[in-house]
Structure formats: structure tokens, C-alpha cells
Copies of this chain bind each other. A is one copy, B any other.
């Protein structure tokens, strides 16, 4: 039977048909607590799914530090990748002289759900309410991974095969470094373009900031001789946190970028973690402050590091305690530069067209106040890349949610886009001999 509907209509129809299955698939993914460094079990599940359901050729491997540590996009981790599998499913084009090659890339890892007690329901058991699905990773970014996988399923279950190479990459450690994405690209898994379904509300990203992690350590090296009561290292934390807040104000006052002119505070500095001491009755010796500071596109990691080092040095130099107990600053995790996109490129045009067909609305753009894996594709491999995914909220916070209708829309947009970008043709079903 010949399907008389357009390719686009067929794909939309198939996405609707598969929707309950896509929703169950998303819920299954959320139930894996795939925290950064613990992506293994989710990745085994996905590798099996890509192999058996999508008939992709699947490669699974862990990032090897020695293969990426000299790369400018590398971020130094403080952890191993023993349980951080990369999963790559490849379809080799049946007619690669036509169409273009494409990567759908998502990250398997999610951030901590703590304090889990603050959630209205368990972060690891998806909960559906009023068209939203709640759970850690529902939006960032398992909803998007479901969309990219079911977009491809829609294509093949409509009986089509991409003419050119198509790849699904699900990578680890996006939330701390981006080394998973880098290791996949360094292993040779590249293409003409990439889509990353970050949950930015069906808007295509045209730029993102970079991110640098720091850890400032205070340590009582020399005890006070000039005071009757010892200075507790915890008292000195405040000098550093105030200084960091002043540094954020200084950065935003002294530099700007046209692409981020709509944002009040694009160079965000987050103080994320403080620890000091380990016992109520002991005087602590150590205190640490961990945080993240952004970079505008064009700003260099090495420069931001030096600025922070100089700033802290300047702010503590007149303090008698800090003179005798100088703080140390360590940079680990994110060493990510910012990036910009040319939104007149063929990739944007093709995605805009698919978006408009599915949603009947004009495409809009956004710049991201955060970093994504897109930077590796754009900066180091010259792969045109867009972040475009469902509507969600409370990313990295309690009660993270994703809008389910928007996932369905993204799945449809992705399916149409994939078919048009790679080109597709009807799969020839081999008949058994006469």
C-alpha cells in the first residue's frame, strides 16, 4: 500500500502512534539515577535499545583521559570515568552521495537531586501532572533524548532509511566537564551538523557563555599570636564569598557582549558548595568554597583564571590572617569557552522550516546563560550545532519538570528535520526468493 500522505504527515502520524511508548521510555530513563560518574546502567540500557530497537551499529566505550587531555576543550576532572560510558549508535547512509550527515547528541548524566526531601515526590520516580512530567533529568535532558530517539524510530518505522550517515550520541559528564562529548568527537564520530535537545523551549540557541569551575581552599597554617582567641577558619569564609560577589559585579560592569545584551548579569558567578570542619566540638583547620564563573564568547579561560587569582589576592592582601594563611585556588571541572552561531546557516534554515511546519509558529532564538556540549562541535570540529529541545523548568533544582506536549512537538520537528537533512528513501524490503 502506498502512503499518499506527505513524508511530514507520515512522520507526525507515526510520532503520535508511538507517543505512549515514548513516554514510557522517558519514564524508564528517569528511573536510572544516572548522576555524573554513574551513567553506566542507563548507558547499558540505551546501548541495548539502540541495537535491538533501532538496529543501529552501536559502539560503547569510556572516555580515555590520555586521548583528550592535550585538547584545548579538555576539562580536568577530579574523578574517574570508570562508570561513565559513551554510547554511539550509527546508521551508515544507504546513498551517502546524497543528503548530509547528522548527529543527534544528548547527555546521559543528571545533577544531584539533593536535598531529595525537598521534592514534592521522589526525584527518581517520574510523576505526571497537568501535562508535566516531574523527575530529576526529565527536562535536562532525558526528555530530549527520548525525542531524538523516537524521531529516528518514526523515520524507520514509516519505512524510510536516511540516505547519509546518521548518529545518535549519548555522552556522560556533561554537567561537570563536557569530556564525554569531547571523547566521542576525538574518537572520530563527527558529522556535518549536530542537534542537542537541551530543554530551551523549542527555541534554537544562537550563543552560550562558557564556564570555569574553581575551588578556593582556606587552611589554618599559622595560628594567631596576636589574638587571645584563635581565628576560626569559618569566620574567614565570608571574606572570600563577599569578594567573589564583588568579582561578579566587576565582571558584569566592565565587559559585555552584544549577543547577551538582553541579560542583566550574563557573567554569572555561582557559589555552589561550602565545607569546613567535621566535628561540632573541634576547631576546623580547612574550609573550601566551590563555584563556577561564566565567560562571554571570545573570553579566554586562561585570562579568567588569572583575573580570579589576582582578584582574590588583592582582596585578601590587607588581612592579617590571610597574610599568614594564604588561600589557594584550584581549577578543576569545567574549562569551557563561550560560543556563537551563524543563524543564517543551512542548519538553522532547515530546522526553522521543520519547526514552522510542526508548530505553525515562527521560530525564535535564544542565547544561553549556561554552557552546553555544543561548544566542542562548534569550536574544535567546525560542526554547525544547535541546541533545541522541549519546554521544561527547575533544571538542576527541586521539582524539575518537562512539558510532555513539547516533547511530542520536538520529536516531530526532529523527525522532519532528520528526513530532510540526511535525505531518506523507502527501505527496500527483500523478498524471499521465488
Q: Which residues of A contact B (CB under 8 A)?
A: 111-112, 114-115, 118, 175, 211, 213-215, 228-229, 232, 234-235, 237-238, 241-242, 245, 264-265, 270-287, 289-292, 333-334, 396-398
Contacts and interface: CB of A to CB of B under 8 A. Distances in A.
Contact of A272 (B211, B245, B280, B398): B280
A283 B292 CA distance: 10
A213 B334 contact: no
21 contacts: A111-B282, A115-B286, A118-B285, A175-B281, A215-B280, A228-B264, A232-B271, A270-B283, A271-B277, A272-B278, A272-B279, A272-B281, A273-B284, A274-B274, A274-B276, A274-B284, A275-B276, A280-B291, A281-B396, A285-B397, A285-B398
Nearest to A238: B238
A295 to B, nearest CB: 14
A228 B215 CA distance: 26
Contacts of A398: 285
A345 to B, nearest CB: 29
Task: Name which of A214, A235, A265, A333 has the most chain B CB atoms within 10 A of its CB.
Answer: A235
Contact of A270 (B280, B285, B286): B280
B115 A285 contact: yes
B211 A281 contact: yes
A344 to B, nearest CB: 32
B280 A277 contact: no
Contacts of A273: 276-280, 284
B277 A272 contact: yes
Contacts of A211: 281
Given A112-B282, A272-B277, 8 more contacts: A214-B280, A229-B265, A234-B241, A237-B238, A272-B282, A273-B277, A275-B276, A280-B333
Task: Name which of A112, A237, A281, A292 has the most chain B CB atoms within 10 A of its CB.
Answer: A281
A237 B235 contact: no
Contacts of A280: 213-215, 270, 272-273, 290-292, 333-334
A111 B396 CA distance: 35
B237 A274 contact: yes
A375 to B, nearest CB: 15
Give me the 7 closest cross-chain CB pairs, A-B, nearest first.
A238-B238, A273-B277, A272-B280, A280-B290, A274-B276, A281-B292, A213-B280
A278 B118 CA distance: 14
Given A241-B238, A265-B228, A272 B284 contact: yes
Contacts of A272: 277-284
B234 A271 contact: yes
A397 B292 contact: no
Contacts of A264: 228
Task: Name which of A234, A265, A276 has the most chain B CB atoms within 10 A of its CB.
Answer: A234
A277 B241 CA distance: 14
B245 A241 contact: no
Contacts of A282: 111-112, 270, 272, 396-397
